[in-house]
Amino acid sequence: MYKFFCRLGAGGLVALALGFAALPASAQRTALFEESTAAEWKEAEVRLPAYPSSADLIPLDVRSPTRTQFFIDVRSLSLAEDGVVRYTLVVRGAGGAENVSFEGIRCATAERKLYALGRSGEWVPSRSDAWHWIADNALNRHHAVLAKEYFCPPGAVRPSLPEILDLLRRDAGVR
């Protein structure tokens, strides 16, 4: 009789294990408190903005001692449904050289992407489609400042487009 109950118990465990194995992966829990799987992110279609004009540029203080000047084109600034803030950046070196780029910052992943470079008043699409992590260093300080202080401040609700514009204008002393 004892052997019968042992075999019955072992058979029950095997049946139970097979039953769990047959469940779909989404029904199997691996932890008591699991986060739901987020829907796969899809980047919105991107259209290049009008080339920036000097009248639409707002100075950006990168909180670093440099003679290089940084500007954001207010007409190009957008906040899309995909969570990416897109903008045109103008960088003027101390010697007068100017670099123009259309970029995006994705707050959810703290990444940036280059969409196009400006050349002779026209856009040249980027050859790379890659997103890059935003490093807070001297070379990329402007990206870190834009992300942390304007587009996606840590511990705060992401600001709306009018709020971002207001912050940029206020910090630049422009109305």
Return phi, psi of residue 62, to 5°: -90, 10
Number of domains in the chain: 1
The CATH number of the domain holding residue 119 is 2.40.128
Residue 74 lies in a domain: yes
Instruction: Say whether pLDDT at 26 is over 50.
Output: no
pLDDT score at 16: 46
- CA 73 to each of CA 13, 53, 104, 140, 163: distance values in angstroms, whole numbers, following the listed order: 66, 8, 13, 18, 15
Task: Name the one residue in this structure whose structure tokens are 């400006």.
Answer: 118
pLDDT digits (tens, 9 = 90+) for 102-148: 999 999 999 999 999 999 999 999 999 999 999 888 888 999 999 99
Any domain includes 45: no
pLDDT of residue 173: 79
| Domain assignment of residue 38, yes or no | no
- Answer whether residue 90 is part of any domain: yes
Range of the domain at 63: 54-172
